[in-house]
Amino acid sequence: MARYFTTKNISLDILRRHIERIVTLTDEEFSLISSHFTAQQFQKKQFVFRPQERVPFVYFILSGLTVLVHLDDNGQEHILSFAMEDWWETDLGAFLHQRHATMGLYCLEDTAMLKLSLDGYNTICSRVPKMERFFLAKANGGHIASQQRILSFQMVDAKLRYQWFLERYPFLVQRISKTVLASYLGVSRETLSRLSRSR
Amino acid sequence: MARYFTTKNISLDILRRHIERIVTLTDEEFSLISSHFTAQQFQKKQFVFRPQERVPFVYFILSGLTVLVHLDDNGQEHILSFAMEDWWETDLGAFLHQRHATMGLYCLEDTAMLKLSLDGYNTICSRVPKMERFFLAKANGGHIASQQRILSFQMVDAKLRYQWFLERYPFLVQRISKTVLASYLGVSRETLSRLSRSR
DNA sequence: TTCAAATAGTGACAAATGTCACAAGCCTCC
DNA sequence: GGAGGCTTGTGACATTTGTCACTATTTGAA
């Protein structure tokens, strides 16, 4: 039991440091905020949520590695984004509008998260208004990152996208399979295999 | 002069209705908000801002049609998004972080806008905190739209992207050239030409 | 350890797309 | 009305990428 509380407190420390990079908080404010988060663990190859399910939470990742995955009509998987330590992830549309998920959140590694419900999210925003600024900063950051990724699809061929990925996320390349990387880059596994050979 | 004020007031009515779809405002709140906006007109083929320039404003479009364009090292243009009546547009990264633009905002038609500076944006957010919720809603909407577009690049070939565009934006198809559409879809002009022929 | 499943590499071929070149049609401005 | 510019369509060909089939290697679980 002691171990449990220790772990939980460490998690909350990580969360607080993360938030305070954007807005500063009093102890009271943070204790109100943190009361809405719940810790949860997932194992490698587990889904946090699947397509078609409800998505009651947004997840703050403490450790591990997940992918946000879309399955198309042919059963093919497409990876929208990776999320790891210190990142927030969810199916944003499904979470905010309380709809069924169009994507799934899948763990590539054992992953520890703090989850926050929409109610908790709204309560936090109304009780600690500056948290709206925090979430706004995160949303803007996500939007900017998505635009960069759109550009990478329009501008450059698969080979250059691969090289960019190597430069930008060298630490990730170690942790994921080529199949997963191919799905993120939007090319077939075979094509990626040839790209990594020819340069 | 009378004409000018009339036009301006109509513009502000549009803005108010737009905001009040998300949050309700008192007259005092709206007058504080609107005092930070300035009307500006652009002609067809004009740049609102170019790559490498500063982007001091976010723009709310009253009428007309613009594209957010990126120029790559080969001088090729790639269209990130269209923006028309009732949409917000800017180079978000450049605006928020006061950096040089990586994209340009170009008018495909004569366009009327209301512009808002970062100072004005921050003032509005601190004086009328619920506006932070409004901007958060817009940012989230933009993020969700960008993710959809990433999926469209990963999932489907150019032909299907073209058909989706036809279904989703039939009104836009009337207003833009095939060359511009090709750049948005991420294919060459010639390929698009062949797609529209074969169905 | 051993066997099955997952992962990765590769060759052959087909399909999709880009690039280059050219011509036809349309619009605008003088 | 004509000249020039912009847009569009199209053919020929090269390149890229996907798909399929097969094999080798690694991983994981019994």
Q: Which amino acid is at A171?
A: F
Q: Which residues of A touch B (CB under 8 A)?
A: 70, 72, 76, 78-80, 92-93, 96, 125, 129, 132-133, 135-136, 139-140, 142-144, 146-147, 149-151, 153-156, 183, 186
Contacts of A51 in chain B (CB under 8 A): none
How many C-beta neighbours within 10 Å does residue A127 have? Answer: 12
Distance B196 CA to D8 C1' (A): 12
B85: which 2 tokens?
């009546």
Helix (H) or strand (E) holding B144: helix B130-155
Contacts of B151 in chain A (CB under 8 A): 70, 78, 80
- pLDDT tens digits, B70-118: 988 777 889 999 999 999 999 999 999 999 999 999 999 999 999 999 9
The pair phi, psi for residue B42, each rounded to 5°, is -130, 150
How far from the centroid of its chain's Cα atoms is residue A51's Cα?
16
Decide if B15 contacts B85 (C-beta within 8 A). Answer: no
Q: Which nucleotide is nearest to A188 (CA to C1')?
A: D18
The pair phi, psi for residue B37, each rounded to 5°, is -100, 145
Distance A174 CA to C3 C1' (A): 28
Start-to-end CA distance of chain B, whole Å, equals 52
pLDDT recorded at residue A158: 87
- Res. B2: pLDDT tops 60: no
Q: Give chain B's domains with CATH numbers.
A: 2-155 (2.60.120.10)
Q: Which nucleotide is nearest to B188 (CA to C1')?
A: C18
Q: Which of A125, A139, A156 sits opposite B143 (nearest CB)?
A: A139
- Give dist(CA B109, CA B96) in Å, integer: 26
Q: Which site among B74, B140, B156 would you substitute to test the A interface, given the most A Cβ atoms closer than 10 Å to its Cβ?
A: B140
pLDDT recorded at residue A75: 79
Q: Tell me the Ramachandran region of residue A165: left when phi exceeds 0, alpha when psi lies from -120 to 50, beta otherwise.
A: alpha
Average of per-residue pLDDT across B14-28: 97
pLDDT recorded at residue B155: 86
pLDDT recorded at residue A199: 52
- pLDDT tens digits, B31-81: 999 999 999 999 999 999 999 999 999 999 999 999 999 988 777 889 999
Residue nearest to nucleotide D17 (CA to C1'): A191
Report CB contact under 8 Å: A129, B129: yes
Contacts of A142 in chain B (CB under 8 A): 143
Residues of B from 158 to 177 whose C-beta is within 7 A of strand C: which are they? 158-159
Contacts of B146 in chain A (CB under 8 A): 143, 146-147, 149-150
Whether any strand C atom is under 7 angstroms from the Cβ of B152: the reply reads no
Decide if B140 contacts A96 (C-beta within 8 A). Answer: yes
Q: Which residues of B touch A (CB under 8 A)?
A: 70, 72, 76, 78-80, 92-93, 96, 125, 129, 132-133, 135-136, 139-140, 142-144, 146-147, 149-151, 153-156, 183, 186
Q: Which site among B132, B152, B184, B187 would you substitute to test the A interface, given the most A Cβ atoms closer than 10 Å to its Cβ?
A: B132
pLDDT recorded at residue B93: 95
Give the dihedral of Cα atoms A157, A161, A164, A165; nearest 10 deg: -170
pLDDT recorded at residue A150: 94
Contacts of A183 in chain B (CB under 8 A): 154
pLDDT recorded at residue B6: 57
How far, CA to CA in Å, does B180 sit from each of B35, B77, B172?
36, 9, 11
Question: Averaged in consecutive runs of 10 residues, what is the pLDDT profile of chain A (199 residues)?
Answer: 59 96 97 96 94 96 95 86 96 96 95 97 94 93 94 89 92 94 95 83
